[in-house]
Structure 1
Amino acid sequence: MIPIEKKELPPKYYLTYFQYLLDFVKQKYTTILNEQENAFIQAFEALDEDEQCLYIRFSNRRGSFFKTDKLKYAEIENIDIILDALIAKNFLSALSHEHIVLAGNVLDILNKSELIQLAKMLNLDVKGKNGLKKEELLDWLLESATFDEMVAWLNPEIAEKPAIIKVNYEEEVQMLKFLFFGSRYGDMTEFVVRDLGFQTYEHYDMDQLVPHFQSRQEAEDKFKVSLAREDFYEMQEQNIAPEEIYHWFMTWTEKHKESLSEIAQPSYARFALKVGSYFEKAKLPDLALPVFRLTHEPPSRERQVRILHKIKNNEEAQALCEQILSEPQNADEQFFALDFFNKLEAQNAKKKVKKAVTDKLHKADVLALDKSWQRQVEFGVIDHYEKLNKKAAFTENHLWRSLFGLLFWDIIFDTESMAIHHPLQRSPSDLFKPTFFEKRQQKMEERLEILDDPDAWNIFMNQTFFEKYGITNPLVDWYGGLFPLIITLLERLSSEQVKAVMLEMARNLRENVRGFPDLFIWDDGDYQFIEVKSPTDSLSNQQLYWLRFFESINLRAKVLRIEWKKPDTELITA
């Protein structure tokens, strides 16, 4: 990697970032901002610089409530005066009885010693309470005293300044950040990571960027799915009974699912899979099955078949397997369905049957290695082939992914795809969606023609690699030895073979960027890809998928099963 130059950010860097975000949202989303968000922007821009800075400091931190006794920011002078100004302008609120519904959040900002001290001031008997965990102590306090009593001690009216304050406009700020990043996972620290040189992004003019959401409903739909998912995780942490979680989730689904915008549907599908998996792991198939039925997103159908088989409903399980086989969405579904039918037939015939991956593994060549390679078996195989005067590299997924990312770089990040929404995007928003290939197919097929001319692809790949080196692309793993490996690959395979692999990846990029063989072995006249399996390792469905695909295009690849050498044991077959 390119060495990272040490950089320093200006004292009020976070204000610059927030102002950029506001300007961006105002420009791209002016038609969908609501009255409250516009009012916040107008009020925020009316603050003086230090007031803006202190408010951003609070809004960028986790939580709604903060203690004021140790506030100190070198770039902000007269913090107490600014604190009073923000309270007067309703950007902050002093703790009061109005915050009773958030009582738990208020107490959570206190450490265990402070909770004990509060209990003493409230004249509660704290004997034996030191042994409680903080969560238990917090629950006891909430049960033992009224919130008004706590507020009287935590924020006494006679104090010069409030000891605890709450940040206001939280919903508005959350939505503005959500509109900018397009998800709840976006964070203002991404600006910092960029400007410190830890990430380098593809450059775009602001005019080239398109809104992630085309309507207010699209934004609100995806936002509420994100909030519901966070509620689900919180319920798990609070050990809410699974039956209550199920009732909550199904009620939420009944109310919202059918009206969700298309852009929010994938988020909902992933949410449903998380909930279904939670019930399945809790050994509650009667709750897991109806949740999995809410989506066809993999691995939903596989999980349904497994549950149906477990509860002895084989007729429905077989019918669903037939659906999977008629139109599998990935290799895991395809081979699971095949193995399931083979298993049922074997049971009826009272025979044993092997899974497709197991059968492939058992038929593989075997190599005996010294047990000293036990924790780095792939490198043991590399050592074996290097002793045979061959060159070898551990390439696994990154070689094919990186070739794809470099060959189609400008097509992937083409702003005409309408999938680039903000300047900190690591990839287009449709990278792992079915529409990715649909929108770019013609350009990608035209680009592949360059592979028929060795001089042309050599110049193109060289130029792309060194111009883009270090820029973030989730498909490209940057390191110095990557380029010669790509050239070696392109020199040894036919253009038709490379084209076939690239197009197969593009058709389902979400699934087909994984499962490639571990090693690339070559010499002057030959090459081979090898999937290495230690004695305790198994072959995955996706690995079998690529091995079969490679075989269909006459691309040399195989599985090599490892056994540990016994005294005087040599190569069995390889």
Structure 2
Amino acid sequence: MTPPELPPFYYLHNFHQVLHWVQHASADLLEPEHVHCGRGFLLASQPAQALLVRLLMRKGPVFRIDKLRYAEIEDLNAAVQELAACGLIETDPELDLDTVFAVHTVPELRRLFSDLPAAGRKADYQEKISQTHGDQARPFLEWCIDISLQAPMLRLSPEVMHWAQRLQLLFFGNHYQDWSEFVLSDLGLYRYETVVLDQASRAFRHGEDVRLYETLSELRDAQDEANPDHWVQRLAAVQAVETDSDWLQRRKAKTLFQLGQQAERQQWWPLAEQAYTQTTWPGARYRQLRVLERQENHQGAWPLFCQAWLEPENESETQKLLRMLPRMRRKLAVEAPPSVSPSTPASPTQRSDLILFDDGKRVEAQVLAHWDSPLAPVFYVENALFPALLGLLSWDAIFAPLPGAFFHPYQACPADWGNPDFVSRRQGLFDQALSVLDGADYKTVIWQRWQEKRGIQCPLLIWPALDETLIEQALQCIPAQHLQLVFKRILQDWRDNRSGLPDLVRFMPAQQSYELIEVKGPGDRLQDNQRRWLSYFAQHAIPARVCYVTRPELV
């Protein structure tokens, strides 16, 4: 199917949509300079507006005018001059050496600077020019005195850059989504669930929320510092953030965890320990234990280990603690672990071994072809099937318009999707969805959702990996009790348990039964999350096996 052709100014229409949305819903969160930029933009002609939006969608803020080509903007120079007159861009800006080299190719640089050798790398050229010309910012004419070689430049004003960033933040509720979301929607490639939005859905309640969000983003995204003193300042700045916003508190906790990871990579053990101690983000306690181990502080780690052993935050932590326990006992000469140990079912998982020639295909495809038959069809599903069925069954819970979950019409998932409390905030709605499995209507509910929501963005559904036959076979062959067991485990640890599920599913429609198959090729081993799932399947008599593939020995 050929995607629809976009109108010439589609991107300008989308930008106007964002601008109108923000002015209607969050005008009080715009600074005076943002209002000034918006007013100047709206007073400009359509070609000038179009050029500005085009530039905002590109990597800038400096551009060579001779490299700008837009068929819908007939008089580019007139649009440039109009934007300059409005103060939205600057023509002939001062450029530092980094920018000069960034906007020119190597052959162009050789023509601009006659003293460069005929062969060399761009980095070497820049070092030479820095030594001979310096790197202080200056108009381009002072970098290149040959007027015939000059390329007119423009630069987006800092106020315009910050205005566009603020619009993006207030509309999307984050800094990582951009205007491409509109394009994918315009092309019909992405469709989004319709969620009723009101004033309570705003990402930011007041200007202080915006300031704190931007502060946390800057502190998180700063480059890794080689100087630990700078890192200490960043950590102190994050710790100083105080807010009564739940989602900003979660963002603060995650930022502290990320700072701990940065310090750990630098092997600044005391600093990493300090960061992990200050946050409740999942995984921080275990990382703190590992940092204490790295410092050979096993005595100090033991009380924290015992606390985690008695009350593990999830199965993943339990698994890691079991690996750590022998090391701790060996270092501390502890005779026995704490009296209460984590539950570790040791039921055996069925095993199969296949000897298959290497035909260049993935080993999962080989096993699928080996076992697939009309009476027992096999599908490659990995982490697609069970999460999809859960998503269809609990669609209303996932897309519930809770405060701080949905901010705009182009969200593929709630804003708190990756947060530890995603399920707990919607526990009643998920419980209600799973209760449908107690009756006979669950197949109808799932099938109707499949028909109604097909193609709509949902984080639990990988649409290209699903088809009607797979859904029909799953509903026919997988008992409701098994669905409920799998769904409950996913919901128990929303972040970890959506992955690690077996590669293949084999259906036996005549017997209304099925089997899950994890495939391991030569030299491949089970991952931790796969081991946890297989243990759970064995504990609850859910049919699953591991198929190990080896290659025949050539004589």
- Aligning the two structures, in what range does the TM-score lie when normalised by the shorter sequence? 0.7 to 0.9
Could you report, residue by residue, the CA deviation over 1:382-405 in whole angstroms, capped at 9, with x for unpaired residues? 445447964332222111111011
User: Is the Cα–Cα contact under 8 Å of residues 201 and 403 in structure 2 kept in the other structure?
Assistant: no
**1:15 equivalent in structure 2:** 12
Question: Structure 1 274/372 Cα, relative in aligned 2: closer, same or farther at 3 Å?
Answer: same
Could you report, residue by residue, the CA deviation over 1:314-370 in whole angstroms, capped at 9, with x for unpaired residues? 12233332233334333332200122113444688899xxxx9x9979976341322
Could you report, residue by residue, the CA deviation over 1:510-543 in whole angstroms, capped at 9, with x for unpaired residues? 2221111222233233432232333422222222
Q: How does 1:143-542 map to 2 (within 5 A)?
A: 143-146=131-134, 147=136, 151-153=140-142, 163-168=152-157, 169-204=160-195, 210-232=201-223, 243-244=226-227, 246-261=228-243, 262-278=246-262, 280-281=264-265, 285=269, 288-345=272-329, 365-372=351-358, 376-386=362-372, 390-416=376-402, 418-454=404-440, 456-479=441-464, 482-523=467-508, 524-525=510-511, 526-542=513-529
Distance 2:269 2:359 in 1: 42
**1:93 equivalent in structure 2:** 90
**What letter is aligned with 2:74?**
E
Distance 1:70 1:518 in 2: 48
Question: Which one of the candidate residues 108, 113, 119 is aligned to 1:119?
Answer: 113
Deviation at 1:32, TM superposition (A): 1.9
**2:125 equivalent in structure 1:** 137
**1:76 equivalent in structure 2:** 73
Question: Structure 1 162/482 Cα, relative in aligned 2: closer, same or farther at 3 Å?
Answer: closer
Gaps of 5+ in 2: 336-341
> Which range moves more in the overlay, 445-454 or 261-270?
261-270
Distance 1:58 1:323 in 2: 54
Identity over aligned pairs, percent: 26
Question: Structure 1 154/19 Cα, relative in aligned 2: closer, same or farther at 3 Å?
Answer: farther
**2:536 equivalent in structure 1:** 549
User: Is the Cα–Cα contact under 8 Å of residues 396 and 517 in structure 1 kept in the other structure?
Assistant: yes
Question: Which one of the candidate residues 60, 79, 100 is aligned to 1:63?
Answer: 60
- CA RMSD in angstroms comes to 3.6
**What letter is aligned with 1:187?**
D
**What letter is aligned with 1:325?**
W
| Structure richer in helix, relative to its length | 1
Could you report, residue by residue, the CA deviation over 1:452-486 in whole angstroms, capped at 9, with x for unpaired residues? 333x2232222211121111112112248544333
Distance 1:298 1:131 in 2: 53
User: Is the Cα–Cα contact under 8 Å of residues 54 and 76 in structure 1 kept in the other structure?
Assistant: yes
User: Is the Cα–Cα contact under 8 Å of residues 364 and 558 in structure 1 kept in the other structure?
Assistant: yes
**1:239 equivalent in structure 2:** none
User: TM-score, structure 1 length as denominator?
Assistant: 0.83
User: Is the Cα–Cα contact under 8 Å of residues 63 and 103 in structure 2 kept in the other structure?
Assistant: yes
User: Is the Cα–Cα contact under 8 Å of residues 298 and 332 in structure 2 kept in the other structure?
Assistant: no
Distance 1:60 1:215 in 2: 27
Q: Secondary structure at the match of 1:461?
A: helix
Deviation at 1:406, TM superposition (A): 0.9
Distance 1:25 1:15 in 2: 15
Question: Structure 1 76/301 Cα, relative in aligned 2: closer, same or farther at 3 Å?
Answer: same
Q: Secondary structure at the match of 2:63?
A: strand
User: Is the Cα–Cα contact under 8 Å of residues 15 and 56 in structure 1 kept in the other structure?
Assistant: yes
Q: Secondary structure at the match of 2:155?
A: strand
Q: Secondary structure at the match of 1:165?
A: strand
Deviation at 1:270, TM superposition (A): 4.6
User: Is the Cα–Cα contact under 8 Å of residues 34 and 163 in structure 2 kept in the other structure?
Assistant: yes
Distance 2:386 2:409 in 1: 27
Q: Secondary structure at the match of 1:66?
A: strand
User: Is the Cα–Cα contact under 8 Å of residues 95 and 151 in structure 1 kept in the other structure?
Assistant: yes
Deviation at 1:167, TM superposition (A): 0.5
User: Is the Cα–Cα contact under 8 Å of residues 209 and 420 in structure 1 kept in the other structure?
Assistant: no
Deviation at 1:195, TM superposition (A): 0.7
Q: Secondary structure at the match of 2:28?
A: coil
Could you report, residue by residue, the CA deviation over 1:61-96 in whole angstroms, capped at 9, with x for unpaired residues? 111111123433221232222212211211111234
